[in-house]
Amino acid sequence: MKYFLFALVGIIALLLILLLTAIIRALLIKAKPADKKSAVSFTADEEKLYAEKLSAMVKVPTVSAQRGEPCPERFRQLHAVMKEIFPRIFEAGEITDIDGNLIVKIKGADPSKKPILFMGHQDVVPATDDGAWKYPPFSGEIADGRVHGRGAFDCKSTVFAEWQAVEELLSEGFKPGQDLYLTSSVNEENSGGGAERIVEWFKERGIRLAFVMDEGGAIVNGLLPGMNTWVAAAGVVEKGSAHIRFTAKGKGGHSSTPPKNTPIARLSAFVCEIEKKNPFKKQFTPVVTEMFTRLAPYLSFPLRLLLGNLWLFKPIVGFAMPKFSPMANAFLTTTVVFTMSGGSEAANVIPSEAYVVANIRPAIQQDLDSCLAVLKKIAAKYDIETELIIGNSASGITDSHSAEMKYIEECVNACYPGYCFTPYYMTGGTDCRKYESVSDNCIRLCPMRVHPDQMAAMHGANESISTDAVAEGVKCYKYIIKNYK
Ligand SMILES: [Zn+2]
């Protein structure tokens, strides 16, 4: 009994010491307000000019081209607008046009140095003026301190800011130390293969790039619940994505004499099992651990205590966070969501075959094949067939400590002092992963502030971007290009 008491007191004392250490750490890591000004600035005239130029690009309704389609006229119209607003780039740059997918090369002083590349996409998802839009989707309206319209954010703001930065530098007589490329595809939004064709061009010429900067991450607010700080989230990896069809077969027949275990009943039970207990393990991969650790100093105390001390609280965070944040859940595990379904054609006919389709997002720790195996096993319990429609595993991971990543971090910190910078685990996809075969540093970050409502409107109604954020973005790209050695 005595020994038991000793052991109990010992355990309690140890727990108290651990907790106290965690509390002290949480107090010490709290982020301090910025003590320096931004290294860049812009004038009101510049902000106005940029808004007008971006607006001109938004006015061209460049809805995605199809795979293999010769360049549709709408992209030619966009190119004409770009020629007008970026005259120096078209004068100084070597332009390659692969069915509308653009590659611009600006020659640098030293051709033996690895080039750098800034990319984006010219196409947008469709938008109709169905009354949900405050301003018509392709009006490019400049109002309320914003440029409005489809593509204003995704991704013409990125393309515009990259090109405007280069345009200004050329007009100032700047010559890059190494070759500099601007690329943009015409069918990112429907995975139409434009980026692959651009990457082929680089491969054929044996060109390897020091780094590639794309959209994907941005400077966002409210990345995690309880977070009220701007975060420059630089995407270093993308989850995979796959569409899977699950089919259940049965005898069919008239609905007046229904048997048990009809296809829809089995599919429903299967869907409920997956929904209730996600069969994929949660895991703190190094990229997620680093992300949470970097975010921690900017969080309110309770969250800072937890995320700032993952050495102690990983099990609690892994259990609790996914419960109130779908985003946090997606960071830790492969996700499955059922998106389509079908059965018989009539309400009084039992289907002889019914199906559901799921979209899954394989996490880094699990490739597509092993995800499929897990689902197949569960589906088999309900006599359901599993078929992969299309899909891929997660992308490769850019090393967040590479010299190039560190450089981008330094530049963003200089332009946006006091903001949090973190490598970011992307749950969605971009064209950037296609460039993995030509660069070790695929960085998905548009250094531009995007408000939560603007983030939410991406691919929806009332897409917009703030004009001051666009100006900051232009200046930040300029800073990155100008200071790169
Ligand atoms: Zn996009």
pLDDT tens profile 388-438: 999 999 999 999 999 999 999 999 999 999 999 999 999 998 999 999 999
User: Which residues crowd ion ligand 1, with CB under 5 Å?
Assistant: 154-155
Q: Residue 221 and residue 228: Cα distance in Å, rounded?
A: 6
Show the domain range for 361: 240-281+333-393
Answer for the pair 353, 264: CB distance below 8 angstroms, yes or no: no
pLDDT at residue 227, as a whole number: 78
pLDDT digits (tens, 9 = 90+) for 329-373: 999 999 999 999 999 999 999 999 999 999 999 999 999 999 999
Q: Residue 356 and residue 351: Cα distance in Å, rounded?
A: 13
Whether residues 306 and 173 fall in one domain = no
Q: Residue 176 and residue 93: Cα distance in Å, rounded?
A: 12
CA of 88 from ligand 1 middle (Å) equals 26
CA of 355 from ligand 1 middle (Å) equals 31
CA of 63 from ligand 1 middle (Å) equals 12
pLDDT at residue 3, as a whole number: 83
Q: Which of 375, 393, 411 is the last residue in one of the domains?
A: 393
CA of 246 from ligand 1 middle (Å) equals 30
CA of 155 from ligand 1 middle (Å) equals 5
Q: How many DSSP H helices and E strands does the chain contain?
A: 15, 17
Whether residues 84 and 144 fall in one domain = yes
pLDDT at residue 235, as a whole number: 97
Quick check: is 13 in a domain?
no
CA of 208 from ligand 1 middle (Å) equals 24
CATH number for the domain that contains residue 337: 3.30.70.360
Is residue 1's pLDDT more than 80?
no
- For residue 244, what are the β-bridge partners? 358, 388
Cβ atoms < 10 Å from Cβ of 300: 11
CA of 89 from ligand 1 middle (Å) equals 23
Min mean pLDDT across 6-10, 134-138, 282-286, 361-365 is at 6-10
Q: Which of 305, 327, 349 is the last residue in one of the domains?
A: 327
207 in helix, strand or coil? coil
Whether residues 432 and 362 fall in one domain = no
Residue predicted with more confidence, 5 or 467: 467
Whether residues 184 and 90 fall in one domain = yes
Answer for the pair 286, 261: CB distance below 8 angstroms, yes or no: no
pLDDT band at 328, cuts 50/70/90?
confident
Q: Which residues contact 171 (CB under 8 A, 6 or more apart)?
A: 88
Task: Find out whether the peptide bond into 155 is cis, omega within 30 degrees of 0.
Answer: yes
CA of 153 from ligand 1 middle (Å) equals 8
Quick check: is 17 in a domain?
no
Whether residues 74 and 222 fall in one domain = yes
Whether residues 268 and 208 fall in one domain = no
Quick check: is 101 in a domain?
yes
CA of 216 from ligand 1 middle (Å) equals 7
* CA distances (Å), origin 322, targets 140, 284, 335: 38, 12, 11
CA of 93 from ligand 1 middle (Å) equals 24
Share the mean pLDDT of the chain: 94
Is residue 253's pLDDT more than 90?
no
pLDDT digits (tens, 9 = 90+) for 160-175: 999 999 999 999 999 9
Tokens 């977070």 sit at which residue? 227
User: Taking each helix axis from N to C terminus, what angle separates 467-483 and 403-415, rounded to the nearest 10 degrees?
Assistant: 140
Min mean pLDDT across 134-138, 235-239, 254-258, 475-479 is at 254-258
CA of 330 from ligand 1 middle (Å) equals 20
pLDDT band at 191, cuts 50/70/90?
confident
CA of 474 from ligand 1 middle (Å) equals 18
Q: Residue 31 and residue 41: Cα distance in Å, rounded?
A: 24
CA of 154 from ligand 1 middle (Å) equals 5
pLDDT band at 68, cuts 50/70/90?
confident
CA of 191 from ligand 1 middle (Å) equals 11
Quick check: is 245 in a domain?
yes
pLDDT at residue 209, as a whole number: 98
CA of 460 from ligand 1 middle (Å) equals 13
Quick check: is 410 in a domain?
yes
Whether residues 88 and 135 fall in one domain = yes
Cβ atoms < 10 Å from Cβ of 191: 16
Whether residues 84 and 137 fall in one domain = yes
Count up the domains in the chain and report the number.
3
- For residue 341, what are the β-bridge partners? 356
* 381 burial type by CB count under 10 A (0-12 exposed, 13-18 middle, 19+ buried): exposed
CA of 122 from ligand 1 middle (Å) equals 9
Quick check: is 357 in a domain?
yes
Quick check: is 260 in a domain?
yes
CA of 125 from ligand 1 middle (Å) equals 9
CATH number for the domain that contains residue 451: 3.40.630.10
Torsion angle, alpha carbons of 39, 228, 148, 411, to 10? 20
Whether residues 410 and 444 fall in one domain = yes
Quick check: is 36 in a domain?
no
The length of the chain in residues reads 485
Q: Residue 408 and residue 484: Cα distance in Å, rounded?
A: 9
pLDDT at residue 225, as a whole number: 72
Whether residues 420 and 360 fall in one domain = no
Whether residues 212 and 105 fall in one domain = yes
CA of 294 from ligand 1 middle (Å) equals 26
CA of 271 from ligand 1 middle (Å) equals 31
Is residue 224's pLDDT more than 90?
no
Answer for the pair 195, 434: CB distance below 8 angstroms, yes or no: yes
CA of 222 from ligand 1 middle (Å) equals 20
CA of 428 from ligand 1 middle (Å) equals 10
pLDDT at residue 211, as a whole number: 98
Is residue 130's pLDDT more than 90?
no
- For residue 146, what are the β-bridge partners? 143, 466
Please compute the mean of the pLDDT values over residues 275-291 and round it to a whole number.
Answer: 93
Query: For a pLDDT cut of 90, what percent of the chain falls above it?
Result: 83
Whether residues 403 and 465 fall in one domain = yes
Q: Which of 347, 377, 393 is the last residue in one of the domains?
A: 393
pLDDT band at 114, cuts 50/70/90?
very high
User: Taking each helix axis from N to C terminus, what angle separates 310-324 and 2-28, rounded to the nearest 10 degrees?
Assistant: 70
pLDDT band at 139, cuts 50/70/90?
very high
CA of 86 from ligand 1 middle (Å) equals 21
* CA distances (Å), origin 378, targets 243, 336, 385: 17, 13, 10
How far does Cα 303 stand from its chain's mean position? 24
Token code pair at residue 398: 């850019």
